[in-house]
Amino acid sequence: MGFRITASEAANLWQFIISNQAYLCFIEHDLVKTKDEDIKTMIRSAIQDTIKIIKEATSLYVKANFPKPIGFSVEKDIISEEPRVFSDQQHLFFLQMMAEYGTGAYGIALGKTTTPQVISFLFDSINISGRLYQTTTELIEKKGFAQQPIYIPPPQHAEMIKKQSFLGKFWGEERPVNVMEIDNLVYSLRGAILAKNHFMAFSQLAQDPDVRDFFVRGKDICKRRVKLLQSVLTHEDLPFQSTYEMEVTDTTDSPYSDRLMMFQALALAQMAVVRYGLAFSANMRRDLAIMYSRLVSETAIFNEDGINLMINREWFEQPPLAPDREKLANK
């Protein structure tokens, strides 16, 4: 018997090939347009690492006799001559966010993997993403781009919860947020800010009217979410977070294909579901639980509408399917 991978491993390799191809398209264009030499050096390193991940994932996938995905390419999906869309600062934030997402995605996939070669690939990918997150975060701090950190005074002593009221009410005054809730509020807000700026840029660039309307809808959803999450922080007397709208240029000449932008839009929506799901699971206040539940539901509807739009344009690549046994039996 030849080299085999499980259905779970096939799913993850397929996703990692396509998502990294799309990511490579964006950072290849970022490299051409970035002026800051420190950031250019980091993008060059990220490009080399991304190419390595794509090659290794594709090699394992094809070795198991799965057909190479259609995916994305710089040649098909990028026009390098078009103007820059984002500032150097936003390029750096994008690198950091993709490194954060990659570290989590590879880590989750590792826990569902049994084939030694795939395990080795995922270990390497986690290390690559973790190293990129560390270096981008250090450079963000060095450049003075970092958000204002949130600190709380340490409690005088540890204690046990004694009353059910700790879980909160459905209306009225609530206890202050705890550190896990602060963590997830900021984590959710960071994702909403990044997504808002991408949807704002994509709505300027899209050529297809329906795609443009979808991006405008995404921008409006993210604006409401930023306002909502900022309001919770403000109500809790915690620092306001910068939203970086001015890091998006006013160009309407798109360097990206509509299909590439739609893929990234759906990736941002999927990341939002992960963020809100994690926040919901760690939350201990009822009002916040209701908020995150609503955000997950709204994002799921938006994501489905985006998939339908991509299917209508024949832009949505089909993942490998299990055999249709009934169809095979009746042929």
Residues 188 and 308 reside in one and the same domain: yes
Residues 180 and 308 reside in one and the same domain: yes
The enclosing domain of 271 has a CATH number of 1.20.1260.10
256 phi/psi in degrees, rounded to 5: -115, 145
Residue 226 maps to a domain:
yes
pLDDT tens per residue, range 289-322: 999 999 999 999 999 999 999 999 999 999 999 8
* 248 bridge partner residues: 86
- Say whether pLDDT at 86 is over 70: yes
Give the largest Cα separation in the chain, rounded: 73
Residue 261 maps to a domain:
yes
Provide the number of structural domains found in the chain: 2
Closest CA to 57 of 16, 98, 105: 16
Residues 186 and 304 reside in one and the same domain: yes
**Residues 249, 86 contacting (CB under 8 angstroms):** yes
Q: How many angstroms separate the CA atoms of 181 and 281, rounded?
A: 10
pTM value is: 0.92
Residue 103 maps to a domain:
yes
Residues 229 and 119 reside in one and the same domain: no
For residue 22, the enclosing domain spans: 7-143
Residues 212 and 287 reside in one and the same domain: yes
- Say whether pLDDT at 167 is over 80: no
pLDDT at 291: 95
Structure tokens at 149: 């950190």
Closest CA to 308 of 270, 269, 266, 277: 266
Residues 29 and 134 reside in one and the same domain: yes
Residue 129 maps to a domain:
yes
pLDDT tens per residue, range 252-264: 999 999 999 999 9
Residues 126 and 237 reside in one and the same domain: no
Residue 329 maps to a domain:
no
Residue 148 maps to a domain:
no
Closest CA to 230 of 136, 147, 141: 147
